[in-house]
Structure 1
């Protein structure tokens, strides 16, 4: 009985265990499913929230549609004269302008397409993830308990209420973006196809450039397009090209405006210095640059910095050149002779007419006759100028070479025009006129720039003239040859822009510069290296230029006897550090150098520092400490190691102190901080002077003190707060010593004031009968006796 009861009990226990096991498994499975369901539903909710936020940041489709419509209108304008209404023959100017417009249209549309594609991909990603999560079978496994089913349905219903409208919004947005993206892609294809066609036409024109394109000028044309239509389409295309270029180069235009303002300020400063020193010439000989600082700044800045505008349309360059030529004419007024002033006015007017002719994009017989008139005029007037006896009055004689080149080019242009080579004729005509104007502008830009630098070198002083690369003391008023080399290269580049051959050569050259090359794991391009070096060199040059012109005036100059406000020189080191650091980071970013390479360089520098650059780093860090803590500023009067002088400049590694004897003492920054540095300027340049005066015994001390006190109180250079003090110091062997103390507000007067005080004390003591005794000393002479040990005979 006992055995059967035991067996039954074990069976019951096993049954209970199996039941609990199944129950535990069911509970675990149920918990797992619920956890997974919560995770999936929460993921759905998060995706819904992200999608909702992203939809609020929708792409500006209205602006894109407007730009697409505007681009199609521009495309229609471009097609006129190229793909329809071609006239007798294509012209290179029309093709250049048309291609420039299409390039800007393609750039705008590709930018919009990139935004649309990104937006479309992101929206599609949200919808895909929401659909993927919503289709997970786990969320459709319902609980067995009815009350739990109701709660679960409520949770799903709340999520569905969020998903339904959002899913509809995403679907509509995706559909709308997709249709707009298709429209943009289709139109972009048309634009690229048109550009390829224009490129083919251009290549064909270049290959047959010397062939006849039109009948001879005296022959009847085969067909023609009315001039008003040509002018109308030319005006539309040129306006579009200018509008697109200005919009695309707004940053460069702002930079040019800033450069003009800085240059104007600098020239105004030079003019003010010349006026203060009464060195401004009434005829502005050698100082024309400061006659009208604003106009000079515009001429110099626009002439030099026009090269930062890449591949500008002719109308943009034409506006810059005309403005600079007019402003140069204002500078010329009553400065050059009337003959050469008339020459400038006439040649600028002829250039304006030739430029307007170059803006006409299709050929017409009337324009060809106008071109011939300008070309013949250029030939005749050029020969007249070259043979005239007024050449001796020409201030810039190198202009004659360009006048000769201009005459030859216009002769060739007239010949090409007469025999039907229209494209060659127009190209040579504009090269001739613009080449002459630009050459004169550049020659005078170089001269104005040199005048400004010469004036600046006379006004500003710096201990290291090498910082500016030109020793003006040797150059004088002669223009450096390097300036003329830059002039010729720049002139050749601007003239080459008119030729299609130049563009053909620029394409492969640009490809050579931008092609990625690989050395090991590092990829680079020639263009990236060039940009890196250019930016780094530019920042170093700017740093040194600021150091040159912001340097304190010479402390030994008689004009520099006042110390007041802290000048920019006190912040010069920080400014230079900021410029060089910014230039370095910009150079690295522009060149695309990976940061891990920079880390390797820094590591190598760390090893170098550990091996032997401690002194250099110490001086560099000391320079930074001086710049931030400012124990000494530029212009302070200091004493270091017993030597006094004025702090001239604070550099990266060392500082320069101009001593009282005029020499420049170069002190490493580390030594400047480690030694006992006395800064007189920090105490407002005040200094206490002391001197000792001896009076003879028997002198009334109070009378002597009154005489000395009267002398000190009468001198206005001696401070009254605190007042001068005269004390009886000691009984000396031959006199009673009086010690005099007084304060000066400018320590640089210490030597002069002390000398005059001593002189007045001596004079007034004599007048008052007070004797300054001469030091006396008794000398005893002893004669040695014959038996003295020192008198032994050897």
Structure 2
């Protein structure tokens, strides 16, 4: 509608101009050109020096005004979007309250640290560091909100600047009544721009204030961390120095606070840190708690289902030590180690709570694994363990604990000695582990006792706490390995559904062996991390490992890092682990689903293994930033060695790949290679395994499988022909013999097609030989059927009087020596001739 009105006005205006021009022409009778775009533009707007973007060469007023109105509408839309962005809610009220609170909190922490500088210990500094992390995360959260808003305002500012610089806002109509719609549009646009610019300016000032406060908090936090780092270095340098008097000397330390006051204060601070940590990780904590109960209910239902539904429930559950009686405790043992690694930089009290949960859960399982005596020691010394763990949560030095720590060290040494005495004549699963753990407990507590006597209080306390906590944790982690294996066993048995069940083909012992090594490594890593962390060496070890791994080194013209090499090797190890286990599970699935030889994966599993290894190699090379062109150079250099020293290995490797593609043998085939025969158990990258019929396993290089003659009894099918040679006496009725043999070969497990055959084969020295040929369905029964047929032939020949001859020899004596005399001896007489008697001359 606006355009129609403008068009009407323009048409009216043009009509007046045309009439005026006609009058002028009539008066002057001098022809003049039609008005240009510049004349039209100047006739509508005042001339300015800042009009840059409007094209004055437009030939018609309609098109010119149309462009101006479109541009005004575009700017109106842009300003509308800007108003929406500026109206987005920013919770400045909460930030205005919390940011000063953070600043005050940082100041109070530093003030208290300076006041307690004489009583600082490493546990205090670790706790303060956890507080700083919590406060810093809160401050960074506000900083991120402000920075995101600043980015948005920067885009808004650029848009406003571009709109301001548009020449549209410099246009002024000569006559505002001439085009009122355009005039109103420009006025509205200028007012909106002015308002938006004002709001934008105010928000910029507000954000600048908050940025300054957040930056101030960040500087204070950095200063506080530097202060704590300096004090930590001082404490570490004095770690091995004498702090207090010897036990036989009078007290020489100042007692500014009582032990109870320090305990209350430390408890309050620990609870504050724990609350802040829970607040930051609330979703994760709720999630793992729900997951724990889901796992518990699932395992409990599995045990119940097995006991109610399985045919051999009693046999299965007799092998279950933990989940049958103590499902909740076993689930806690199973879950806790994972919780120790899920949470990032947990406070000491949180770790202590998880360790306590593990110890409480282990109390219900220790008796089942280690016996009644150790269970008694475990429960008896549980109280000292709890007290020592509580002293480890003290933030300040309390020298009153000295005597308690000495007694605790002695008690734990006694516990270790009693355990070793109990295990001296015992040998069971876990006895060796328990001996090693007891020796560790004795050694570390003895060292703590000696350091306590020598006046190294903080050093003594650190080792006493670390020894007790990590001994109990070690037992808990051992139980974690056993519980996890038991959980796998339950899952395997629960998943069995007869012949069609996937896990029915699982060799659980083999699966257990595969998992045990990984679980032991996982548990040992968690235990070692906890020991280093409790002893206070974690930061040093972490810095040393980081510098060793990530420091750039130069070899010739090549720069490298040990970290890249280590990462490459780790990825290769993971690839090898995945390749072996994928091949294992694929083989199990293959045995379950493949009904015929053609449906089996068989030796194609080798291609899967090779594929995983190759992918792992390239991922490792890419992650370690190893240039592929240098790898090709190395491979080119190795080709010389391959051509000479490694040609046999490469031959076997290539032969393995050919076997995988041609598939002349499959896993489960019955083959004969040279002098070796048996069942194919594995087709590897370099060699294959054959299980001989006597139970031995024969490793045959893949090259020999291709270069030697290979007999595969099951290449096309599993049928096997059996051949027997049966001899009968010359006096036997041959037709009767043949009838007897044919009757015997009409048994159920002997195939009818092809049918059995009986041939008269040969006239031997002492027998007439018959050749029996018959087929059986599978290789598995051919030996059994051969023995069954032979036994039936023997019985039938005996019943029918058919002679089974044996070789006979006739001996002819041509002459007898003269001095030889024949003497016939009677029963019970010595046939040896008497010695000759001497005659007197």
Pick the TM interval, shorter chain: 0.5 to 0.7
Show the counterpart of 1:196. Answer: 226
Alignment of 1:371-390 (within 5 A): 371-372=401-402, 374-381=404-411
Secondary structure in structure 2 of the residue aligned to 1:725: coil
Q: Work out the CA distance in 2 between the residues paired with 1:69 and 1:623.
A: 71
Show the counterpart of 2:111. Answer: 83
Q: 1:521 to 1:172 in 2, by over 3 A?
A: farther
Give the C-alpha shift of residue 359 in structure 1. Answer: 1.9
2:448 is the alignment partner of 1:409 = yes
2:389 is the alignment partner of 1:359 = no
Secondary structure in structure 2 of the residue aligned to 1:712: coil
Show the counterpart of 1:756. Answer: 788
Match of 2:274 among 221, 239, 246: 239
5+ long unaligned stretches in structure 2:
1-32, 38-54, 173-178, 425-430, 490-506, 808-841
Alignment of 1:241-256 (within 5 A): 242-243=277-278
Q: Work out the CA distance in 1 between the residues paired with 2:549 and 2:263.
A: 44
Deviates more, 1:722-731 or 1:426-435: 722-731
Is the contact between residue 78 and residue 98 of structure 1 (CA under 8 Å) also seen in structure 2? no
Match of 2:668 among 623, 635, 641: 635
Is the contact between residue 409 and residue 432 of structure 1 (CA under 8 Å) also seen in structure 2? yes
Is the contact between residue 570 and residue 633 of structure 1 (CA under 8 Å) also seen in structure 2? yes
2:569 is the alignment partner of 1:533 = yes
Any idea what the Cα deviations from partners look like across 1:465-508, whole Å, max 9, x if unmatched? Answer: 9x9999xxxxxxxxxxxx99x98x99887555345676457546
Is the contact between residue 726 and residue 771 of structure 2 (CA under 8 Å) also seen in structure 1? yes
Tell me which structure has the larger Cα radius of gyration.
Answer: 2
Q: 1:681 to 1:522 in 2, by over 3 A?
A: same
Q: 1:762 to 1:573 in 2, by over 3 A?
A: same
2:381 is the alignment partner of 1:347 = yes
Q: 1:74 to 1:529 in 2, by over 3 A?
A: farther
Is the contact between residue 517 and residue 523 of structure 1 (CA under 8 Å) also seen in structure 2? yes
Q: 1:82 to 1:748 in 2, by over 3 A?
A: same
Corresponding residue pairs, total:
681
Is the contact between residue 680 and residue 691 of structure 2 (CA under 8 Å) also seen in structure 1? yes
Give the C-alpha shift of residue 700 in structure 1. Answer: 9.2
Give the C-alpha shift of residue 239 in structure 1. Answer: 0.5
Match of 2:460 among 403, 428, 436: 428
Secondary structure in structure 2 of the residue aligned to 1:666: strand
Q: Work out the CA distance in 1 between the residues paired with 2:716 and 2:90.
A: 64
Q: Work out the CA distance in 2 between the residues paired with 1:754 and 1:564.
A: 25
Alignment of 1:653-672 (within 5 A): 653-660=686-693, 662=696, 664-668=698-702
Give the C-alpha shift of residue 743 in structure 1. Answer: 3.1
Q: Work out the CA distance in 2 between the residues paired with 1:633 and 1:156.
A: 85
Alignment of 1:545-560 (within 5 A): none
Q: Work out the CA distance in 1 between the residues paired with 2:708 and 2:196.
A: 71
Give the C-alpha shift of residue 659 in structure 1. Answer: 3.9
Show the counterpart of 1:601. Answer: 631
Show the counterpart of 1:314. Answer: 348
- TM-score (structure 2 length as normaliser): 0.57
Q: Work out the CA distance in 2 between the residues paired with 1:175 and 1:124.
A: 13
Give the C-alpha shift of residue 658 in structure 1. Answer: 3.0
Q: 1:568 to 1:97 in 2, by over 3 A?
A: farther
Give the C-alpha shift of residue 406 in structure 1. Answer: 0.9
Q: 1:356 to 1:575 in 2, by over 3 A?
A: farther
Is the contact between residue 652 and residue 687 of structure 2 (CA under 8 Å) also seen in structure 1? yes
Q: Work out the CA distance in 2 between the residues paired with 1:653 and 1:602.
A: 23
Q: Work out the CA distance in 2 between the residues paired with 1:68 and 1:691.
A: 101
Is the contact between residue 379 and residue 411 of structure 1 (CA under 8 Å) also seen in structure 2? no
2:127 is the alignment partner of 1:97 = yes
Q: 1:748 to 1:581 in 2, by over 3 A?
A: same
Is the contact between residue 367 and residue 374 of structure 2 (CA under 8 Å) also seen in structure 1? no
- TM-score (structure 1 length as normaliser): 0.60
Q: 1:113 to 1:401 in 2, by over 3 A?
A: closer
Show the counterpart of 1:5. Answer: none
Q: 1:378 to 1:137 in 2, by over 3 A?
A: same
Secondary structure in structure 2 of the residue aligned to 1:646: strand
Is the contact between residue 665 and residue 712 of structure 2 (CA under 8 Å) also seen in structure 1? no
2:671 is the alignment partner of 1:650 = no
Any idea what the Cα deviations from partners look like across 1:241-270, whole Å, max 9, x if unmatched? Answer: 7548968999x999x99xx99xx9xxx9xx
Is the contact between residue 382 and residue 404 of structure 1 (CA under 8 Å) also seen in structure 2? no
Show the counterpart of 1:391. Answer: 421
Secondary structure in structure 2 of the residue aligned to 1:655: strand
Any idea what the Cα deviations from partners look like across 1:84-140, whole Å, max 9, x if unmatched? Answer: 487654432222112133235435755875686578558736864895598587999
Q: Work out the CA distance in 2 between the residues paired with 1:523 and 1:59.
A: 51
Q: Work out the CA distance in 2 between the residues paired with 1:393 and 1:67.
A: 62
Q: 1:763 to 1:161 in 2, by over 3 A?
A: farther
Q: Work out the CA distance in 2 between the residues paired with 1:439 and 1:427.
A: 18
Q: Work out the CA distance in 2 between the residues paired with 1:663 and 1:437.
A: 47
Is the contact between residue 405 and residue 461 of structure 2 (CA under 8 Å) also seen in structure 1? yes
Is the contact between residue 619 and residue 653 of structure 1 (CA under 8 Å) also seen in structure 2? yes
Q: 1:167 to 1:699 in 2, by over 3 A?
A: farther
Q: Work out the CA distance in 2 between the residues paired with 1:650 and 1:709.
A: 43
Q: 1:731 to 1:606 in 2, by over 3 A?
A: same
Give the C-alpha shift of residue 651 in structure 1. Answer: 1.9
Give the C-alpha shift of residue 747 in structure 1. Answer: 0.8
Alignment of 1:484-633 (within 5 A): 494-498=530-534, 503=539, 506-507=542-543, 510-511=546-547, 513-517=549-553, 524-540=560-576, 573=606, 576-577=609-610, 580-581=613-614, 583-584=616-617, 587-588=620-621, 590-591=623-624, 593=625, 597-602=627-632, 605=635, 612=643, 623=656, 632-633=665-666
Q: Work out the CA distance in 2 between the residues paired with 1:123 and 1:78.
A: 30
Show the counterpart of 1:747. Answer: 779
Alignment of 1:10-49 (within 5 A): none
Any idea what the Cα deviations from partners look like across 1:258-311, whole Å, max 9, x if unmatched? Answer: xx99xx9xxx9xxx9xx99x9999999xx9999999988987997899689886
Show the counterpart of 2:154. Answer: 124
Secondary structure in structure 1 of the residue aligned to 2:381: helix
Is the contact between residue 755 and residue 775 of structure 2 (CA under 8 Å) also seen in structure 1? yes
Match of 1:333 among 346, 363, 367: 367
